[in-house]
Structure 1
């Protein structure tokens, strides 16, 4: 008998016109991925401009590692995000990217991540306390995970102080994503960035509020001096490119901080929400994970030191990221003539790696739509370029270890204390605007374990 499958996106099985594609993409970017993308190594087409989707690990390695300068971030990606985060680490290219990466890399060292783990433990404990106080009723765990991870990133970034208005920043981020994250026809046609996009004009006030709050926090910290235990802002203020000796000015600090705030809570919140959905979906996996967590934690909240002793919960996080990667598509713009998978790529072509389709590719995974954490028991058996929730190559997500540590700490803490069961008729739909969200929320009932 076939195993039941968790929520998935219905991929396209017939060609779409430009305007229908635009309408579908504004609702859910993943809905325009052709079904053959989970069966073939590469798919090409034209929609305003030439595009390619690449699912072949060897070709992906060439793009992301061997010839990274030939495939910079796509114009569409930059058009969507530059108004919010400027030429920060996420968007910058070439020498401007390299000096920023060198300057911030020490802040994300393993030692600093462990030093920040007590903040994650405290947030996990507060989340468990809120769930317990709510009693045996349906809870939208998406909302709860957003609250928990925003607690972490605001405390990690600003030590919870300096006049940082976390609610105002949170509202501004949500407002910007809701409007500016939607693809414009101008983006699909490759029109210049200086032509105004209606959604981004509507989100202008949210952007100003977000930047004003961040600038104020940076100025206040510069006057006050570092915290007793350095947080991310302290580490970035102290960061220096060892090659050029350059340090970030206030605008550069602000743009990078906003990048880390958005990425540092949104992506982890979504990963945890999808993981909890899958725990409700597969009670046997949940029970196995709970047994591991209870054995290790002995009634307490997980710490940074516990993470290495929670391998099965880490496998659940890995499998969740395979099925529901927060960045469901990464996009590049080719700079020169090339050949990938035997197909011609021209300068200006958009070349995408649909991470969502890659994780469900029939030639790369056994029963790809099935939820099975055991497939990550032996990580060496998995092709590095078949599994890319954090990208790869020089531009691999600098906060990957931070996100993985946080996700394991929070998930283990919650599973050790509660049994989660799904609410009838409340299954989420995978929808991607900027990130892959569980549309409708993740509604679960939590009872003491």
Structure 2
């Protein structure tokens, strides 16, 4: 658990060293993004980057990140990363400006009301059990791909429960191509790079077009049926604002794509990293097995089991600390202002990185250590220190949905299987906007309780 950081009032500012002519820091961000960003805190609390012809600032101190995330009128959604993400998510909840956010949040909140979570969790449990049912003792699997298939099935079911074969909808391939296309645009923020007719850019445009057609047909089918299927799409179709207006088809499409990527990509990454961390820490894994044997006795986990699985929940929290899926994000400054006592002009891009914050030794003792028990203390993290889901009014609306899915998946799988990554392979993250691991294999061993 992080220490309660005492705010200081002398925040330092600097320009990151070793900028290249013309390109600035873009090559370092492209080729060594995680080490480069994590090392910026050593240079100051607010660090200036040069990315080709563009300038950006990185908020490295938790006090500045808290200010950045809670003053959402001054530091609006936008900047190098969010502007690129809007090519896919449009004006969805995760990317819309502050002027639209309040209306959207109020309209979408019923979809994530706590009373709906048990119903979603029941769908999650069915899909987790069904997706893992074909596994056999001794199977060697591509673990990230398997977790992606699992979260695709869960997300599609919770979104489109009325579709008889929601898990078989061709959203997996579309979202994979879309996510990689967004990542390329974010990690190489040079003007015009996304317009070059490369194979990757063509795949991105084709996948984006196909995804819109899938959602268009689903929306039309649901509108024609006029039935509440107790899923996310039903809520999107039925919700109304204060003036009685519903969401347009384009607005629903943007929200569906936002939920798809958040539900598939981020949770799959969290699960993939969790298995590597557990395999590298056998004492924690043994304690997890003991907890699961005591509570589940070999059956799949259910929503009502989660309060009795505290170690499972702490494993999710600690995995999100070490490997936050949304590891770097941006805001745009709407008016000349000061951040940490340093002038920042209107129009500037401000970046912040949960990955950087979560690996500060002054916030998390022994930050590289996988230690779920750091979350045993009753003290809450100081605002701005632990931010896998953001903070303030723009905190991720589906945070509890995602952590519930991850906990159910870990509990159900670990109660029946020991997942062991193949020795002597390097498990490294993609150079991407989402902290997902590259493909790696693991062996499934059926547990004898």
TM-score in terms of structure 2 length: 0.89
Q: Which residue of 2 aligns with 1:425?
A: 424
Alignment gaps of 5+ in structure 2 = 1-15
Alignment gaps of 5+ in structure 1 = 1-12
Tell me how many residue pairs correspond in the alignment.
429
Q: Is the Cα–Cα contact under 8 Å of residues 360 and 367 in structure 2 kept in the other structure?
A: yes
Q: Is the Cα–Cα contact under 8 Å of residues 28 and 431 in structure 1 kept in the other structure?
A: no
Q: Relative to 1, partners in 2 of residues 1:163 and 1:408: Cα closer, same or farther, differing over 3 Å?
A: closer
Residues in 1 aligned to 2:99 and 2:357: alpha-carbon distance in whole angstroms: 30
1:287-436 to structure 2, matched below 5 A, reads 287-436=286-435
Residues in 1 aligned to 2:166 and 2:425: alpha-carbon distance in whole angstroms: 35
Residues in 2 aligned to 1:90 and 1:142: alpha-carbon distance in whole angstroms: 24
Deviates more, 1:361-370 or 1:53-62: 53-62
Residues in 1 aligned to 2:123 and 2:166: alpha-carbon distance in whole angstroms: 17
Q: Which residue of 2 aligns with 1:219?
A: 220
Q: Displacement of 1:200 after TM fit?
A: 4.5
Q: Which residue of 2 aligns with 1:168?
A: 170
Residues in 2 aligned to 1:163 and 1:371: alpha-carbon distance in whole angstroms: 38
Query: Which of the residues 43, 55, 59 maps onto 1:54?
Result: 59
Residues in 1 aligned to 2:164 and 2:413: alpha-carbon distance in whole angstroms: 30
Q: Displacement of 1:210 after TM fit?
A: 0.5
Query: Which of the residues 154, 178, 181 maps onto 1:179?
Result: 181
Q: Is the Cα–Cα contact under 8 Å of residues 423 and 445 in structure 1 kept in the other structure?
A: no
Question: Where do 4+ consecutive residues of structure 1 move more than 6 Å?
Answer: none
1:6-405 to structure 2, matched below 5 A, reads 15-17=18-20, 19=23, 21-27=25-31, 29-33=33-37, 35-37=39-41, 40-47=44-51, 48-65=53-70, 67-131=71-135, 133=136, 135-159=137-161, 161=163, 166-183=168-185, 187-188=189-190, 196=195, 200=201, 202-227=203-228, 229-241=229-241, 243-405=242-404
Q: Displacement of 1:181 after TM fit?
A: 2.4
Residues in 2 aligned to 1:444 and 1:369: alpha-carbon distance in whole angstroms: 25
What RMSD, in angstroms, separates the aligned Cα atoms of the two structures?
A: 2.4
Q: Displacement of 1:52 after TM fit?
A: 1.8
Secondary structure of 1:139 counterpart: strand
Q: Is the Cα–Cα contact under 8 Å of residues 88 and 182 in structure 2 kept in the other structure?
A: no
Q: Relative to 1, partners in 2 of residues 1:365 and 1:338: Cα closer, same or farther, differing over 3 Å?
A: same
Secondary structure of 2:330 counterpart: strand
TM-score in terms of structure 1 length: 0.89
Q: Relative to 1, partners in 2 of residues 1:103 and 1:347: Cα closer, same or farther, differing over 3 Å?
A: same
Secondary structure of 1:443 counterpart: strand
Q: Relative to 1, partners in 2 of residues 1:38 and 1:137: Cα closer, same or farther, differing over 3 Å?
A: farther
Secondary structure of 1:53 counterpart: strand
Q: Is the Cα–Cα contact under 8 Å of residues 333 and 350 in structure 2 kept in the other structure?
A: yes
Residues in 1 aligned to 2:417 and 2:61: alpha-carbon distance in whole angstroms: 41
Residues in 2 aligned to 1:340 and 1:379: alpha-carbon distance in whole angstroms: 31
Residues in 1 aligned to 2:307 and 2:230: alpha-carbon distance in whole angstroms: 24
Q: Relative to 1, partners in 2 of residues 1:404 and 1:39: Cα closer, same or farther, differing over 3 Å?
A: farther
Q: Relative to 1, partners in 2 of residues 1:417 and 1:34: Cα closer, same or farther, differing over 3 Å?
A: closer
Residues in 2 aligned to 1:71 and 1:336: alpha-carbon distance in whole angstroms: 9
Q: Relative to 1, partners in 2 of residues 1:350 and 1:428: Cα closer, same or farther, differing over 3 Å?
A: same
Q: Relative to 1, partners in 2 of residues 1:162 and 1:83: Cα closer, same or farther, differing over 3 Å?
A: farther
Residues in 2 aligned to 1:244 and 1:393: alpha-carbon distance in whole angstroms: 26
Q: Is the Cα–Cα contact under 8 Å of residues 46 and 58 in structure 2 kept in the other structure?
A: yes
Q: Which residue of 2 aligns with 1:10?
A: none
